[in-house]
Amino acid sequence: MMEDDQAVPGEDDAVEPEMNVLNSVLDMCGDSFIAVDGNRIKASTQQFDDTRLMALLCRHDIALYIANMRTAGKKQFYAFALITALFKELPEWWTMGILYDIACQIHQSLLKWNFMPEWHSHIIFGVLVFHAYGHQWMCQLWYHPRKSKIWGLSDGEGCERFWSELRRLIPSLRVTGYHQ
Ligand SMILES: [Zn+2]
């Protein structure tokens, strides 16, 4: 990655309470994600009610929940909905490790807007091992799964393997819906 792509902390830069990464770093991670995701938008919301799917998989790559997405972009509320569904099925005292391609962004949102305060002490976030390289270096120091032993050798890329397994269905299901 070029040095120019890296955030440079300013004098008034800050780390929000309970976060470990500078706001400027998180902003740059967010900007790069928006740019990439914008190029991925292939289905128009004017033509389709459901544009994509988002899946939540366990450590063994088994799909636990799948949500229909109804917006062109990947909004954070889909991830929150999936995590909410999972939390309902787990004991309250469990701590969950969640690997997600923009984990740094949803971690920031949870704390900044005080979403789901009951989650805060029960979730540890990490960024998927291959997606991590699209994040700022300072973000990787905290969220890269190889930087903490809690992840073992989990890479978080189960969704990529899951979509790959389903690729044979693409031709027949490209334009379809749950109501058909
Ligand atoms: Zn990041």
| Chain Cα centroid distance, residue 98 | 9
For the stretch 90-138, pLDDT in tens is 998 999 999 999 999 999 999 988 888 888 899 999 999 999 999 999 9
Average pLDDT over residues 11-20: 80
Cα 136 to middle of ligand 1, angstroms:
6
Q: What is the pLDDT of residue 53?
A: 86
For the stretch 27-75, pLDDT in tens is 999 888 776 665 555 545 666 677 788 999 999 999 999 998 887 666 8
Q: What is the pLDDT of residue 1?
A: 45
Q: What is the pLDDT of residue 14?
A: 85
Q: What is the pLDDT of residue 2?
A: 44
In whole angstroms, how far apart are CA 119 and each of 64, 83, 136?
19, 10, 25
Cα 168 to middle of ligand 1, angstroms:
32
Cα 105 to middle of ligand 1, angstroms:
7
Q: What is the pLDDT of residue 73?
A: 67
- Is the pLDDT at 151 greater than 90, yes or no? yes
Enumerate residues 6+ apart whose C-beta is below 8 A from 87: 96, 119, 122
- Is the pLDDT at 170 greater than 90, yes or no? no
pLDDT: which is higher, 167 or 3: 167
Cα 149 to middle of ligand 1, angstroms:
19
Q: Cα–Cα distance between 139 and 172 in angstroms, integer?
A: 40
Ranking 1-15, 71-85, 95-109, 153-167 by mean pLDDT, the lowest is 1-15
Q: What is the pLDDT of residue 173?
A: 77
Q: Cα–Cα distance between 92 and 86 in angstroms, integer?
A: 11
Cα 90 to middle of ligand 1, angstroms:
27
Strand partners, 124: 97
pTM equals: 0.81
